[in-house]
Amino acid sequence: MPVTIWLATHATSEANEAGIAAGLIDPPLSPRGRLQARELRDRYGAQVDAVVTVAVRRARETAAIAFEGLPLIVTADARLDECDYGS
């Protein structure tokens, strides 16, 4: 059976709007980001069977808003997080 995988970035966070590269800090979505997450559902919601996100809050929050009320499990997997190379 063929599998289709869609990749989407997290919606806009408060750090994005402040011009800060968030990296591994964990800011919440901005109001604009919450709207973008709802728009993500409009694009993909009915066609999704599973959702896997990175572990940062902004990604989990994007997925929670985008797929709220759908009968699927959203899984956060830290193995997908970006690499932290230090200062």
Give me the tens of pLDDT residue by residue for the chain, a chain 87 residues long: 777 778 888 899 999 999 988 777 889 999 999 999 999 888 876 678 888 999 889 999 999 999 888 888 889 998 888 776 666
Q: How far apart are the first and last CA of the chain?
A: 45
- For 86: left if phi > 0, alpha if psi spans -120 to 50, otherwise beta; the answer is left
User: What are the helix (H) ranges across 1-87?
Assistant: 14-17, 31-44, 57-66
**Contact, 75 vs 51, CB < 8 A?**
yes
Q: Rounded to two decimals, what is the model's pTM?
A: 0.83
**Contact, 37 vs 4, CB < 8 A?**
no
